[in-house]
Structure 1
Amino acid sequence: MTLQPTDKEIIRSVREGDVQAFGLLVDKYQHMVYTLAVRVVKNREIAEEVAQDAFVKAFEALEGFKGESKFSTWLYRIAYYRALDVSDREKRKWRVTHEVAVEDNPAASANTTWTALMDEERGEFIKTVLDSLTEEDRSVLSLHYLQELSLKEVGEIMGLQPNTVKIRLYRARQRMLTFIQEHQCDKWLQNYGS
């Protein structure tokens, strides 16, 4: 059994000219970076582009990585801010195209209602709840609970103090609970919640 090189060893190899070694970092973190991107942009194809962009930016900026935090934290921070940039761009694009569509077709502006979620699978329900939250709420919850990062690591990625992360996690959980209660998902709470 061969031991996998550490992130520091891989980074050193890349800095010494072994550009191919960066692929080991991509292999190691691609799923987590992609998952973070999906949580922010809510579109799988766009998330793939965000993840690729994040790795390109990380590669280009690798000389500037000082190692003061873990490589994964540094990488997630790059991916998080790239995802926010793309999400903002997509929202602007959506508003422009939908404002035109609404003017052309008044029926297109009608609000759709949520269908009953009680019979949905747990995973689909959680996705729905997460999608109802803001980008910031989704990100902080995903980083802490799905990526299993510490409060400190989440704070480094999002540019926040650990206590602020703790408060935002609490508030995001409260907003999730409010959403569940407002959409009368008591059955789900009984089966999967507390």
Structure 2
Amino acid sequence: MDEKQLVSQILSGSDSAIRLLISKYERLVIHMVARVVSDDMDREELCQDVFVKVISKLSGFNFDSKLSTWIATIAYRMAVNFAKKKKLDVVELDEVAFKIGENVEITEQEDMKQFILKLVDQLPVSYKSVLTLFYLDGFSYPEIMEITNMPEGTVKNYIHRARVKLKKIVEEHAVKEIALI
């Protein structure tokens, strides 16, 4: 079923179409919210709220972008607004504080991807969001611009800065690991 059919069926009141929408985009919404909100209970509630808003605003979706981009935009903006409202650590653009040394260890059982995601989580929220949208979710620059409401230059700059900061975190962690040997 393509996006237009799915939207049409949801707008006509199909519960199965709503379930299909949720199952199809659940991972994306969880990922977008988790990049900004760390508390499990808050994330779960916020993800539910995102889908309620998506379904309630679906009649206004005009297919100018992909449905996934539109849903990611709603999830991202709701997460940022939630974090601001709860006064969570929404890192400002030039803040360089990291949480280095919080027992980030690689064990034999731990997957390298999980380790890298832990390092990425140390980045400021703005950098982490665009970096994961680009590399993990595979969104293009125009899609990231739409989701985050940032100009293209800012998106590219944040991705560059995120890579530089991530490299620094990896190097610092490697130095700590070598010192332990």
TM-score above 0.5: yes
2:123 is equivalent to residue 133 of structure 1 = yes
* Structure with the bigger percentage of helix: 1
1:23 corresponds to? 19
- Name which of 163, 167, 176 aligns with 1:177: 167
In structure 2, what is the Cα distance between the partners aligned to 1:44 and 1:146? 21
Contact 2:100 2:169 in 1 (8 A): no
Where does residue 14 of structure 1 map in the other structure?
10
Question: Structure 2 stretches of 5 or more lacking a match?
Answer: 90-98
Q: How many angstroms apart in 2 are the aligned matches of 1:117 and 1:160? A: 31
Instruction: Show the counterpart of 2:41.
Output: 45
Pairwise CA RMSD of aligned residues? 2.6
Query: Which entry has the higher C-alpha Rg, 1 or 2?
Result: 1
In the alignment, is the contact (CA less than 8 A) between 2:106 and 2:115 conserved in 1?
no
How far did residue 79 of structure 1 move? 0.2
Deviation string 1:69-118 (CA, Å, 9 cap, x unpaired) is 1111111000001111222234459xxxxxxxxxxxxxxxxxx9726646
Normalised by the length of structure 2, the TM-score is 0.79
CA offset digits 1:139-177 (Å, max 9, x no partner): 111111111111111111011233432221111111111
Which of residues 135, 141, 144 is equivalent to 2:134? 144
With over 3 angstroms needed to count, the CA separation of the structure-2 counterparts of 1:167 and 1:33, relative to structure 1, is same
The equivalences for 1:74-153 within 5 A come to 74-91=70-87, 114=101, 117=104, 119-120=106-107, 121=110, 122-153=112-143
Q: So what's the TM-score if we normalise by structure 1?
A: 0.74
* Paired residue secondary structure (2:121): helix
CA–CA separation in structure 1 for the residues paired with 2:131 and 2:27: 17
Aligned residues between the structures? 166
Aligned counterpart, 1:165 = 155
Gap change, CA 1:40 and 1:116, over 3 Å in 2: closer
How far off its partner does 1:128 sit? 2.6
Are the equivalent residues in 1 in contact too, given 2:73–2:148 (CA < 8 A)? yes
Distance 2:13 2:114 in 1: 45
User: In 2 relative to 1, CA 114–152 (structure 1 residues): closer, same or farther, beyond 3 Å?
Assistant: same
Separation in structure 2 between the aligned mates of residue 9 and residue 53 of structure 1, nearest angstrom? 23
Gap regions ≥5 residues in structure 1: 94-111, 189-194
